[in-house]
A and B are shown apart, each in its own frame.
Chain A
């Protein structure tokens, strides 16, 4: 289940622009399977955290209302080129994933 996650982080002035693309089905639990007519069980990311050089910058709570393969963009003031960004998520079934990128 742990498919790769993509992060791109670039400096724009003194602000780091971070873009994250996660791989996840984000099932709400309300959708019906077209063939069987059964409800597809809920399976979505509930928590996302991001750190820059080990210091937490973002702590997010998500619901099934976020689109499939979630995209997330945020900006952090202060870091420098070469600093490390780490983004991790956890879903409602206990799956976890984490990825890192160097700010360029």
Chain B
């Protein structure tokens, strides 16, 4: 009788954990062509940003190419080009790891859009620029260091 009671409690606790994980964005109810929640953009570090994006433990990939300058004289305008050679690329996110809020932008691609995005970002200081690619429900990543001589986030 006591054992049964234990099990019931355990079961309840288990269900609770799942609900919490869903609420925290660890588990997504639908891994649809993910529109990234705004909370990911407010995350103050890379780990939280990835977690809120639903991209847990992305795998390093050589099929992602990041084109960005080695040295950016002006951190307010850093050209970044991301090309993904991974088949079925459905989203590309760009993060500047040491920015106050690392997640810079997320691009969901569909309807024939290729795994390519070119844009210009702000960088507060020298750091890694990271690309996170979603393809077939999995996350892949690559990074490139950009040295910044004048930061572009404080003005």
List the interface of chain A (C-beta within 8 A of B): 15, 19, 26, 28, 30-32, 34, 40, 46, 52, 55-68, 70-79
Contact = CB atoms under 8 A, between A and B. Distances in A.
Which size bracket describes the interface of B in this complex?
A: 35 or more
Contact of A60 (B77, B105, B121): B105
Contacts of B38: 46, 61
Contacts of B132: none
Contacts, number: 114
B105 A66 contact: yes
A76 B153 contact: no
A72 B38 CA distance: 20
Given A65-B101, A66-B119, A74 B154 contact: no
A56 B47 CA distance: 30
B141 interface: no
6 contacts: A15-B114, A31-B154, A57-B110, A65-B122, A73-B116, A74-B113
B29 interface: no
Contact of B122 (A28, A34, A56, A58): A28
Contacts of A31: 153-155
Contacts of B114: 15, 74-77
Given A61-B41, A63-B41, A65-B121, A32 B111 contact: no
